[in-house]
Amino acid sequence: MSARRPLDADVLIVGGGPAASASALHLLRLGIQPLIVERERFPRYHIGESLTGECGNCLRELGLEDLLSQRGYPIKLGVTVWGAGGKNSFWVPVKKRNAQGALEEATTWQVRRAEFDQDLLQAACDRGALHLEASADKPLSENGRITGISAALPSGETRDLQARVVLDASGQATFLASHGVTGPKSRGRYNRQVASFTQVKGARRDPGPAGGNTLIFYREKHHWAWFIPLDEEVTSVGVVAPAAHWQASGPSKEEALRRELETLNPELSQRVAGAEFVEEVRTASNYSYHIERFTGPGFLCVGDAHRFLDPIFSFGVFFAMQEAKMAAAAVQASFAGEAGAFSAFEEKADRGQRVVQNLIDCFWDYPLAFQRMAHQTHTDDIIDCFAGRLYAAEDSLSEGVQIMRRLAERPHEDALS
Ligand SMILES: Cc1cc2nc3c(=O)[nH]c(=O)nc-3n(C[C@H](O)[C@H](O)[C@H](O)COP(=O)(O)OP(=O)(O)OC[C@H]3O[C@@H](n4cnc5c(N)ncnc54)[C@H](O)[C@@H]3O)c2cc1C
């Protein structure tokens, strides 16, 4: 019998985005050796620039605050949501919970993802993560357990890589799901939406420290725009609308986006009047999905690799980084022989995602009730959700979350189906 060859790492991570780098950084802290397999050479463009308050804390916890400060990223104090016609705005500040549990002022960042992702990956490598530029082609398994991947190198060579665990952080490529390793992938509620976005110079921001904030502009149900400052001059702008709306619009995607920016909401049009596009116009469609059974023998999925809800309140990078921390702890527990560590991770990850699903559904289906909660009746609960404090046990959910759940999960016609 031939001797088994040594493992390439304890944990093999597919992808090199925030979920991957944060997983590697947490694993290294726990004394576990990760190998990151990313197919793209960084820096590479990626959408997803506004971070939640707790996402900022994930970065601080990993000791990355100086790195972000050196980049000079805009400081985000919160998000303003402008209602249809530029009326009835509401404001959700970034706040943290102090040691006594009280809410305190806090800040987070807006980031340029090409640099941010590169910095995170570099930080993971500097601290000891292995990194291979290669594309994960297919998972390897033995007796029903995932044992590694087969990777295609840029040279065209193929290499089999073995590890105790494969952590799928491949984002919307959903590597393990697309090879049938996980449960089925289902379309989410917002899967017929299309986002069209670019970066502009010359957009007008709010004066003073508020100039770094995220602005959201509502036109009508499922039709909205974002405004996210990326540096002193450049602002990320994007419009999201049902696919059918775009099909009926202008001849080129540049013209269609320009027209949307001019007409979607007067508060937006006056901010972008005369602004110059400094990036190509890109689109993202069919982006809402979730995957069942995203952990199993020898594998876990983290971040977009198992679910993406909707970009409206900027939870994607937070989920990637928070789940990375939870996944690293689950890997450590399973190496220590704890049965059920992966399924406990899966249950907790789903719990947080469900709160955000409820929040977004409630925002779209009951906008007036939502606004009243954010403004008047459940301000602190909404602030906690927007920050990313989402993982309370089912029997200790805040009143605000319980109300949103009751509203969001009562049977209703799905406007997009
Ligand atoms: C329109 C839109 C706007 C958004 N706005 C925001 C926002 O403002 N704030 C926010 O927090 N989130 C936002 N998001 C979500 C955010 O972009 C994602 O949730 C986040 O990037 C997920 O991180 P990740 O590490 O899971 O995946 P990714 O960042 O996508 O990283 C996955 C990596 O895996 C690599 N990969 C894939 N397949 C393979 C393979 N087979 N082999 C090797 N490597 C592979 C890819 O090259 C990629 O680098 C937005 C999303 C959309 C669609």
Burial degree of 402 (CB within 10 A; 0-12, 13-18, 19+):
middle
CA terminus-to-terminus distance, the chain? 56
Q: Atom 7, ligand 1: which residue's CA is nearest?
A: 48
Q: For residue 27, report the phi and psi dihedrals to the nearest 5 degrees.
A: -60, -45
pLDDT of residue 414 exceeding 80:
no
Q: Atom 6, ligand 1: which residue's CA is nearest?
A: 48
Q: For residue 238, report the phi and psi dihedrals to the nearest 5 degrees.
A: -155, 155
Residue 190's pLDDT is what? 79
List the structure tokens of 176.
């393990």
- 265, 255 Cβ separation under 8 angstroms: no
CB neighbourhood size of 340 (10 A): 12
- pLDDT tens, residue by residue, 311-330: 999 999 999 999 999 999 99
Q: Atom 38, ligand 1: which residue's CA is nearest?
A: 170
List the structure tokens of 104.
């305190």
48 CA to centre of ligand 1 in angstroms = 7
3 CA to centre of ligand 1 in angstroms = 39
What 8-state DSSP symbol labels residue 110? B
CA pair distance 267, 265, nearest whole angstrom: 5
Confidence category of residue 417, pLDDT binned at 50, 70, 90: very low
Q: Atom 15, ligand 1: which residue's CA is nearest?
A: 316
pTM summary value: 0.96
141 CA to centre of ligand 1 in angstroms = 26
- pLDDT tens, residue by residue, 11-20: 999 999 999 9
Helices 53-61 + 379-387 axis angle, to 10: 40
Higher per-residue pLDDT: 30 or 191: 30
379 CA to centre of ligand 1 in angstroms = 30
pLDDT of residue 415 exceeding 50:
no
- Which of 12, 37, 39, 110, when mutated, tests ligand 1's pocket best, judged by the most ligand atoms within 8 Å of its CB? 39
Radius of gyration of the chain, Cα coordinates, nearest whole angstrom: 21
- pLDDT tens, residue by residue, 39-58: 999 999 999 999 999 999 99
pLDDT of residue 208 exceeding 50:
yes
120 CA to centre of ligand 1 in angstroms = 13
> Among all chains, which residue has been given the structure tokens 């602004």?
275
Query: Under DSSP, is residue 387 helix (H, G, I), strand (E, B) or coil?
Result: helix
Residue 261's pLDDT is what? 97
Atom of ligand 1 nearest to the CA of 195: 1
Residues flanking ligand 1, CB < 6 Å = 14-20, 37-40, 46-51, 135-136, 169-173, 175, 195, 238, 284, 287, 303-305, 308, 311, 314-318, 320
Residue from 13, 43, 103 nearest 320 by CA: 13
Residue from 55, 197, 51, 58 nearest 111 by CA: 51
- Which of 25, 36, 37, 38, when mutated, tests ligand 1's pocket best, judged by the most ligand atoms within 8 Å of its CB? 38
Average pLDDT over the chain, rounded to whole? Answer: 95
- pLDDT tens, residue by residue, 364-385: 999 999 999 999 999 999 999 9
Per-residue exposure over 348-370, b if at least 16 CB sit within 10 Å of its own CB, e if not: bbeebbbbbbbbbbbbbbbbeeb
- pLDDT tens, residue by residue, 119-131: 999 999 999 999 9
274 CA to centre of ligand 1 in angstroms = 31
pLDDT of residue 1 exceeding 50:
no
- pLDDT tens, residue by residue, 291-312: 999 999 999 999 999 999 989 9
pLDDT of residue 416 exceeding 70:
no
Residue 99's pLDDT is what? 94
List the structure tokens of 7.
């493992």
List the structure tokens of 83.
């209602």
Residue from 280, 273, 234 nearest 253 by CA: 280
233 CA to centre of ligand 1 in angstroms = 25
| Across 24-33, 40-49, 138-147, 243-252, least confident range | 243-252
Confidence category of residue 5, pLDDT binned at 50, 70, 90: confident
CB neighbourhood size of 191 (10 A): 17
Residue 3's pLDDT is what? 64
pLDDT of residue 61 exceeding 60:
yes
Share of residues in the chain with pLDDT > 70 (%): 97
336 CA to centre of ligand 1 in angstroms = 31
